[in-house]
């Protein structure tokens, strides 16, 4: 399938590293003009430069803004007025016993993982609907369905994101705009490497640590390995295309078969 996103403008929140950077890179590789976002200017500029090295003819803009707050979102809106493609990737995670998670921590997770997406959709969706084209994707997780004991607060926010997706998809019904969740499974990023180290010990060689993590903490994965970020980026590219025009309101899985159910 030949997917050409030339002429489309895309924003990927939280794209200075990891999954977000991979998504932004794959969108640029497919011809989209990409806005890279992170909290710090230097790191965001470095991410944009990395995409340009990977995709020499890429059109990339770096916008530093903390989208976990309304003020940070307003900074972004002042610099990026309209979009064709919005990817809400910004998110935080971490292991913590559920009985030790206080109110402030719960609020922080909702601000970053849920409300950041709501703010951006609320701002950009109306103009997409007016123009008759738009693609919104919220990067969710297998944890939205299989609540992880070691990070219940993270799982709950990703569950909420599925409902956010479905609700906004209904709001955009019949306009030519699609809204979907991409449910990423256990993915190989620097942050996950640290997380794996916390759970199985940071003194093990990486290959062994990964195998032990998958066996003990993600045993239902059918591919029995961590997903590589570009594999998620490829799904986002497809959902951003005109070829995906009949897919909306869905929770699309890139989870390595981890979720042990037929639906979603």
Q: What is the 3-state secondary structure (H, E, C) of the chain?
A: CCCCCCCCEEEECCCCCHHHHHHHHHHHHCCCEEEEEECCHHHHHHHHHHHHHHCCCCCEEEEECCCCCHHHHHHHHHHCCCCCEEEECCCCCCCCCHHHCCHHHHHHHHHHHHHHHHHHHHHHHHHHHHHCCEEEEEEEEHHHCCCCHHHHHHHHHHHHHHHHHHHHHHHCCCCCEEEEEEEECCECCHHHHHHHHHHHCCCCCHHHHHHHHHHHHCCCCCCCCCECHHHHHHHHHHHCCHHHCCCCCCEEEECCCCCCCCCC
Asked whether residue 14 is assigned to any structural domain, the reply reads: yes
pLDDT at residue 204 in the model: 93
CATH code, 137: 3.40.50.720
Asked whether residue 182 is assigned to any structural domain, the reply reads: yes
Domain count of the fold of the chain: 1
pTM: 0.95
Asked whether residue 193 is assigned to any structural domain, the reply reads: no
Asked whether residue 168 is assigned to any structural domain, the reply reads: yes
Asked whether residue 150 is assigned to any structural domain, the reply reads: yes
pLDDT at residue 52 in the model: 98
Residue 1 has pLDDT above 90, yes or no: no
Of the residues 109, 154, 220, 258, only one is catalytic, namely 154
Tell me what the mean pLDDT of segment 210-235 comes to. 94
Asked whether residue 154 is assigned to any structural domain, the reply reads: yes
Residue 172's domain comprises 9-187+227-254
Residue 264 has pLDDT above 90, yes or no: no
124 annotated active-site: no
């Amino acid at each position: 399938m030949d997917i050409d996103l030339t002429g489309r403008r895309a924003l990927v929140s939280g794209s200075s590293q990891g999954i977000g950077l991979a998504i932004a890179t794959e969108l640029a590789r497919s011809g989209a003009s990409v806005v890279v976002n992170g909290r710090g200017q230097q790191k965001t500029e470095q991410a944009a430069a990395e995409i340009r090295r990977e995709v020499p003819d890429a059109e990339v803009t770096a916008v530093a803004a903390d989208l976990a707050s309304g003020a940070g979102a307003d900074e972004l809106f002042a610099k990026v007025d309209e979009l064709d493609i919005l990817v809400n990737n910004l998110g935080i995670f971490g292991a913590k016993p559920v009985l030790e998670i206080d109110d402030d921590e719960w609020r922080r997770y909702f601000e970053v993982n849920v409300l950041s997406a709501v703010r951006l959709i609320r701002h950009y969706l109306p103009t997409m609907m007016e123009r008759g084209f738009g693609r919104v994707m919220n990067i969710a997780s297998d944890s939205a369905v299989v609540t992880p004991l070691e990070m219940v607060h993270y799982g709950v926010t990703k569950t909420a994101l599925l409902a956010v997706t479905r609700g906004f998809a209904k709001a955009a019904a019949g306009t030519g705009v699609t809204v979907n969740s991409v449910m990423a499974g256990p993915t190989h990023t620097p942050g996950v490497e640290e997380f794996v180290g916390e759970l199985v010990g940071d003194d093990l060689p990486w290959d062994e640590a990964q195998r032990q993590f998958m066996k003990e903490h993600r045993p239902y994965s059918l591919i029995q390995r961590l997903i590589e970020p570009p594999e998620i980026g490829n799904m986002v590219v497809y959902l951003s295309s005109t070829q995906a025009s009949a897919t909306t309101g869905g929770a699309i899985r890139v989870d390595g078969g981890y979720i042990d159910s037929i639906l979603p």
